Amino acid sequence: MAQSVVQDFTSLEQGFENLRLLIGERLILLVSQEDFSFNPPIRHVPEYQNEAFCRMIAQYDLSFEEKMVVVIALAPYIHPILLDVFTTTELKVTIHAGSIGGFQKEPSRAFIPTIRTVLFLLGSQGKPMHEMFSQEEVLVKENIISIERITSIIPIIDSPIFLSEEYYCLLTTGKFEPRQDENFPAKKITTSQNWEDLVIRQEVLEQIIEINDWIAFSEAIMNQGSIPNKIKKGYRALFYGSSGTGKTMTASLLGKSFRMPVYRIDLSMVVSKYIGETEKNLEKIFTMAESRGWVLFFDEAEALFGKRGATNDAHDRYANQEISYLLQRIEDFDGVIILATNKYHDLDDAFKRRFQAMIEFPDPNAQERLLLWNKTFEGCGFEYAEDLDFETLATNKEATGGMLINVLRHAAIKVIKAGDNILRQEYLISGLKKEYNKENKMWIDVPSVLRRAPIALNAYAKQNGLLK
């Protein structure tokens, strides 16, 4: 490598300039023409993309060669003209294809670099190239690039290298959007609702406000004197209560308030019966999420953070070691972790001690249920029948917000099918009965006219910064 023309770099623009110089230098050597000219224009790269590139360099401490591999893998997408020189007729006549490698992918026929292409351009300076593409090295381990074997009979050196979808998004938009797969078994969750749509009690809201305040002021707190030596940067909260009481919605709203992505971990892809596999799966999640300002949301957390059993054999001992690993890992995570469960007593006590907040989401009382009924059906565009009576249902029938969303779906089908746009009491009752049957609850018809005034938390929420 001619270090006189190719220099270390910290921006994509400099990286593409290096690639242009390297291609020109290598082709001059191969075609033996000193007057060979390769001088395509380098497209300007927006500053926010360079910022994302710099963050990636810092996070993984990438070497010069590793940065160049990223640039080479990115080139077909945003600077194809640099690599298309390898497909020109003149060069094909002069150069044997085995020298430069490459792969032309249908339907665009764009030149996709292979490991052989990287070897051709970078030579053997620094870390041996074959080591750079091993499963244990940073580019492959962190899913920055992927290596696609074409067939088993073709040497791995002729395998195309691709920039992962997540890092393509990061380096072209400045945003990192991981894809849900075995490397990151989590799905981004969002909500179209706002804090005023959340029906909870004042004492619950006060605890949520404390989490809200930590997120808002954590940076200032961690820059205060000796505090960083005494408390850890992350925040861990446990939400517990029946299904449908607002746990997931609250996690989504906290992320929405601060434009922090919230990822719900798919525990079916994480928990494994095989020794050591659960730890490996979790480590992928924590490594991917480290220092990204995400909220990790573990729903049905008892499946992962349940009580330790008696130590009767080697498998039990390893299971207990696994829980010890989880304890340490969630404590070391520098972001926000929220665990949710409707089986609070099944959680290991050691986990409970690690939480900064443990918030119970109780089943709504009659006043709260009335507010939920009204909020669920307001703005839906239906006419209310004369017999419609939210108060009687709210007073006499237990229900959560999640159950009422299902009632809304059921009632909407009935209204549209009837064709008269009228929301009737019988639709609400039949929908709620379905929810009771699903949860094996007994339905008893008890007519009542007891009315309760709805509570309003909006003013309190605004006062504490949850509503703008």
Half-sphere exposure of 311 (CA within 13 A, CB side): 8
Write out pLDDT tens, residues 101-143: 777 766 656 788 988 888 888 875 545 666 778 888 888 888 8
Write out pLDDT tens, residues 150-186: 776 778 888 889 988 888 888 888 777 777 777 778 8
Query: Which residue spans within 209-298 are E strands per DSSP?
Result: 235-241, 262-265, 295-298
Q: What is the token pair recorded at 344? A: 């609070």
Q: What is the token pair recorded at 345? A: 């007593």
Confidence of residue 278 (pLDDT cuts 50, 70, 90): confident
- Whether the pLDDT of residue 6 is over 80: the answer is no
Mean pLDDT across 235-250 = 93
Rounded CA gap, 368 and 284, in Å? 41
Write down the pLDDT at residue 2.
Answer: 42
Mean pLDDT, the chain, as a whole number? Answer: 82
Q: What is the token pair recorded at 45? A: 């790269």
CATH class held by domain 366-458: mainly alpha
Which residue type occupies 459? A
Q: What percent of the chain has pLDDT over 90?
A: 35
Confidence of residue 316 (pLDDT cuts 50, 70, 90): very low
What is the CA angle 365-368-369, rounded to 5? 80
Domain boundaries along the sequence of the chain: 12-173, 186-361, 366-458
Rounded CA gap, 249 and 232, in Å? 26
Write down the pLDDT at residue 211.
Answer: 93
Q: What percent of the chain has pLDDT over 70?
A: 84
Indicate the pairing of strand 110-112 with strand 103-105: antiparallel
Write down the pLDDT at residue 414.
Answer: 95
Indicate the pairing of strand 161-163 with strand 145-147: antiparallel
CA dihedral 362, 368, 373, 379 (to 10 degrees): -110
Write down the pLDDT at residue 459.
Answer: 56
- In this chain, the answer to whether the domains covering 186-361 and 366-458 adopt an identical fold is no
Write down the pLDDT at residue 74.
Answer: 92
Write down the pLDDT at residue 366.
Answer: 94
Other CB atoms within 10 Å distance of the CB of residue 317: 11
Mean pLDDT across 344-361 = 85
Half-sphere exposure of 281 (CA within 13 A, CB side): 21
- Whether the pLDDT of residue 442 is over 60: the answer is yes
Confidence of residue 4 (pLDDT cuts 50, 70, 90): very low
Cβ contact 305:326 at 8 Å: yes
b/e sequence 150-167, b meaning 16+ C-beta within 10 Å: eeeeeeeebbbbbbbebb
Confidence of residue 416 (pLDDT cuts 50, 70, 90): very high
Confidence of residue 98 (pLDDT cuts 50, 70, 90): low
Three-state SS at 101 = coil
Write the CA distances from 298 to 237, 264, 338, 357, 409, integer angstroms.
10, 6, 6, 15, 27
Write down the pLDDT at residue 450.
Answer: 37
Fold of 186-361: Rossmann fold (3.40.50)
- Whether the pLDDT of residue 320 is over 80: the answer is no
Cβ contact 452:366 at 8 Å: yes
Q: Which residue has 């023409």 as its token pair?
A: 33
Instruction: Identify the residue with better confidence: 327 or 30.
Output: 327
Other CB atoms within 10 Å distance of the CB of residue 8: 12
Rounded CA gap, 178 and 188, in Å? 9
Q: Which residues contact residue 253 at a Cβ distance below 8 angstroms, ignoring those fewer than 6 apart?
A: 191, 193, 194, 195, 198
Write down the pLDDT at residue 267.
Answer: 81
Write down the pLDDT at residue 456.
Answer: 45
Cβ contact 380:415 at 8 Å: no
Write out pLDDT tens, residues 37-65: 677 778 777 777 888 899 889 888 999 99
Instruction: Identify the residue with better confidence: 393 or 447.
Output: 393
Instruction: Identify the residue with better confidence: 318 or 9.
Output: 9
Three-state SS at 185 = coil
Write down the pLDDT at residue 367.
Answer: 94
Confidence of residue 237 (pLDDT cuts 50, 70, 90): very high
Rounded CA gap, 48 and 146, in Å? 24
- Whether the pLDDT of residue 35 is over 70: the answer is no
Q: What is the token pair recorded at 409? A: 């779906």
Q: What is the DSSP string of 313-343?
A: SHHHHHHHHHHHHHHHHHHH-SSEEEEEES-
Lowest-pLDDT range, 170-184, 191-205, 289-303, 410-424?
170-184
Three-state SS at 139 = helix
